[in-house]
Amino acid sequence: VIIKEGTTVIGGEAFKESCAMQIALPDSVTEIQDYAFYNMKNLKRVVLNSNLKKVGDSAFEGCVSLYSVEFPGLVNTIGSHCFDGCVRLQSVILPNWITKIEPYTFYGCSSLRNIVVPKLVNTIGEYAFSSCQSLENIFIWRTVTTLGANWLGAYYPNVTIHTLSGSKAYQYAAE
C-alpha cells in the first residue's frame, strides 16, 4: 500500500481487511486511527514514520502475519488492543514517549519473545501481555507503579522479569 505524501491521518477502518503485505507511511502522517489496518491477514511489515504521534485502538489487531514493528521516537499513544491477536509478532521496539501500555495491547501475541518497557511508562494495563506464551524476557523500569489485572496472564515458566528490587514489577515477580 502506498499512501500519498501530504496525508496526515489514516482514518478508522481505512484498510480494514485489505490484502496488502506491506505498508509504508509518508512523513506527513501523524495519526493512525482506530481499526485502520484491522484484520489485514497478509500484512507482514509496517514502516512507521518519524512524525507519527498516535496509533489508535485495534489499529493492527488481527494482523496474523505481522512479525516486526519499530516505533519512531515521537509516538506517545498506542491504543488498547493495538496488536491483539498478532500471533507472528516476534519483535516490537516501543517508543520512548509512551507513559502507559494500554489494556490488551499485545494480547495473544504468542510469538513475542522480548519486550522492553520504556522508562516513562507508569502503567501496564490489564491483559497487556496475556497469552504471550513465547515471552522470555520483559524489562520493566521502577517507574511502573500500576500493573493491571492479569497484565501478564497465566504463569509462564520461561519468562524472566528484569526489574529493580523494590519496584512494583519486583513485588509481582516475588509473589
pLDDT tens digits, one per residue of 81-120: 999 999 999 989 999 999 999 999 999 999 999 999 999 9
Q: Are 116 and 140 within 8 A, CB to CB?
A: no
Q: How far apart are CA 160 and CA 136, in angstroms?
A: 6
| pLDDT above 90: percentage of residues in the chain | 80
Query: Would you call 72 helix, strand, or coil by DSSP?
Result: coil
Q: What mean pLDDT is predicted for residues 139-161?
A: 90
Give this prediction's pTM. Answer: 0.93
Q: How confident is residue 129, by pLDDT bands cut at 50, 70 and 90?
A: very high
17: pLDDT strictly greater than 90: yes
Contacts of 72 (CB under 8 A, 6+ apart): 48, 49, 50, 51, 52, 95
DSSP category for residue 2: B
Instruction: Determine the pLDDT at residue 75.
Output: 93
- Mean pLDDT, the chain, rounded, equals 93
Residue 33 is placed in which grid cell?
A: 486511527
Contacts of 155 (CB under 8 A, 6+ apart): none
